[in-house]
Structure 1
């Protein structure tokens, strides 16, 4: 009898321990990711080779369970965030992932644009339609459209920007039916929706989606940037440096391992990112010798200042370099003595 009770108790304990792994909490945990060499990821057709490496840095993030939460509380370089600080209002986890992949795609386009312009090469864009980022509950699109859908026709009309799309919909009246032609998982389908008023904006009508332009960048020579499922905009600066380096004869790496982070804008300015401490750890683990960090125009709370503090804390030997623009990073590398 005692043996059966012991086995039953043991089974219950094991069940609770295993269940704890799958029961998620309303928090996210982030930790140092990896530093990925960009040469295998970025390929400019007939591009120049390089002796050193440019590397993007990542942060690992996941929904917390009781174990990951406990580990994060004890770890120096793991962070805990309430879910409402990660997810936008009414945003699902699937929509969050779609948003992150869009931010990465947009980051790649900006990086290509900046690098090709710096190299004196022409850049053109081809507009494809609308990219759905998320869908509002209680609105006509809810349950009919999904994050990641690409809308390329409305009532058989094509548009040249999301502004034209929005203007067309806003001219409709409550109760009007609109046909959307979408691409979802490589399949084309028509979706009919009835326009209605927004509850929080009764003077405005629509279908209830957050959207951005879906466009392709056209350049010569061709460039391919493979990022798989890496999301977010923070690799923009390092993408632009790798692309530019393959476009130009002089090797900017000069034999060094160069990591970094920063969102890149079409004008070449470098913006701040999250998780700078964890990216410094990832870069140091990968043996980086130089790390570019957003300077935020000398702000006392800049990514650069946080990066310097973390580098000292872990005893990293790599040089932390503050940058506000792509050109600043290029100028620094051009002056760098060859290894």
Structure 2
């Protein structure tokens, strides 16, 4: 075989080998793409039940959209091929990011789903609390046993959901007080918890349901202090029932839009004025809005669904302005009160009054 032909054949075979290797080679990246959006003022597509249901309080008709947005993410165990990752980088509707940016090293699919479910439940609770505070509707709190350490001093004595009324006769009004009271003891001494068992706890617990539970403290593994092996938590008590019924959605980023949906349903004024508003953002109990991941994919999802305005957490504005779909107006949001004020401007058609995202 002539040398030139042999060289071309070898080069061709090498190229084929490299192409095959690139198809088979897995790379440590995760792919994000636009996910479904849900109108918090509307109903779920699959079941036809309202996304937000309020009972025990007068509600008002709403129009328009306040859509929460989502991102579809490949699973913790999935790794794309090199070719797939390159194609994703070249596309405008796929975001390819390092795997560990989304899933902490070693996290399984099951662990990721559990974390997302917990974050979603927490965001629901904060959305309810922030919405009622925005409307000056009283929200009370109670301190509960959030979890019990397996094999710890409290196992079998205290249970998740028990309401902590007092420790050693001192009324408990914050999580920090529980540890403060316990640490007044030396390891091996007894701390007496006054609790209302989970099955009987509620907005107005009956003092007759309170029980005294003595716990022999143990020494903390890391230092010489007393512990009882529980994690205290805060449970909010609302004057009426608010149910958020979305399925197969996780993470904390829907908090802002849930809160707005609740405020709209409890407000005589139709906040959107029939406009299509979408958005994202975490929310805390006081209404502060925080940043989220995958903002560009959420912008695409919102615009594809028909949104005209997108409520954007202030800390996501710089990234969001780099790829805003045509026809979508970004509205910078710092807190729930600001979002409600922005809806007033949208409803009245005063675009100039909207806080703009800047690079």
TM-score by length of 1: 0.68
**What does residue 31 of structure 1 align with?**
33
The equivalent position to 2:146 in structure 1, one of 131, 156, 169, is 131
CA distance, structure 2, for counterparts of residue 170 and residue 73 of structure 1: 56
**What does residue 11 of structure 1 align with?**
none
1:64-213 to 2 correspondences below 5 Å: 64-67=77-80, 71-76=84-89, 77-83=94-100, 86-87=103-104, 97-120=113-136, 122-127=137-142, 129-132=144-147, 149-150=160-161, 152=163, 160-174=173-187, 195-199=218-222, 202-206=223-227, 211=231, 213=233
1:207-226 to 2 correspondences below 5 Å: 211=231, 213-220=233-240, 222-226=241-245
**What does residue 16 of structure 1 align with?**
none
CA distance, structure 2, for counterparts of residue 150 and residue 95 of structure 1: 22
CA distance, structure 1, for counterparts of residue 140 and residue 64 of structure 2: 32
1:284 matched to 2:303? The reply is yes
- Unaligned ranges ≥5, structure 1: 1-19, 185-189, 296-301
- Point out 4+ residue stretches in structure 1 off by more than 6 angstroms: 24-27, 90-93, 153-158, 176-184
Give the direction of change, closer, same or farther, for the CA distance of 1:161–1:118 in structure 2 (3 Å limit). closer
**What does residue 9 of structure 2 align with?**
none
Give the direction of change, closer, same or farther, for the CA distance of 1:55–1:173 in structure 2 (3 Å limit). same
Give the direction of change, closer, same or farther, for the CA distance of 1:205–1:125 in structure 2 (3 Å limit). same
Render the CA deviation track for 1:225-253: whole Å, top value 9, x for unaligned: 22345332211211111111111121112
Matched positions, count: 289
Give the direction of change, closer, same or farther, for the CA distance of 1:156–1:178 in structure 2 (3 Å limit). closer
Structure 1 residue 215, shift from structure 2 partner: 0.5
CA distance, structure 2, for counterparts of residue 69 and residue 60 of structure 1: 20
**What does residue 245 of structure 1 align with?**
264
CA distance, structure 1, for counterparts of residue 128 and residue 220 of structure 2: 40
Please tell me whether the aligned partners of residues 129 and 159 of structure 1 are also in contact (alpha carbons under 8 angstroms). no
Range that drifts further, 79-88 or 35-44? 79-88
Give the direction of change, closer, same or farther, for the CA distance of 1:268–1:224 in structure 2 (3 Å limit). same
Query: Quick check: which one's strand share is greater?
Result: 1
2:68 match: secondary structure = strand
CA distance, structure 1, for counterparts of residue 107 and residue 140 of structure 2: 29
The equivalent position to 1:266 in structure 2, one of 278, 281, 285, is 285
- Unaligned ranges ≥5, structure 2: 1-23, 42-49, 200-212, 350-359
TM-score by length of 2: 0.65
Give the direction of change, closer, same or farther, for the CA distance of 1:66–1:262 in structure 2 (3 Å limit). closer
**What does residue 235 of structure 1 align with?**
254
Structure 1 residue 68, shift from structure 2 partner: 7.3
**What does residue 345 of structure 2 align with?**
335
2:238 match: secondary structure = strand
Structure label with greater radius of gyration: 2
Render the CA deviation track for 1:115-171: whole Å, top value 9, x for unaligned: 223333x22224251324x97xxx955xx89xx954656999995442233234434
Give the direction of change, closer, same or farther, for the CA distance of 1:54–1:173 in structure 2 (3 Å limit). same
Please tell me whether the aligned partners of residues 30 and 80 of structure 2 are also in contact (alpha carbons under 8 angstroms). no
Please tell me whether the aligned partners of residues 178 and 195 of structure 1 are also in contact (alpha carbons under 8 angstroms). no
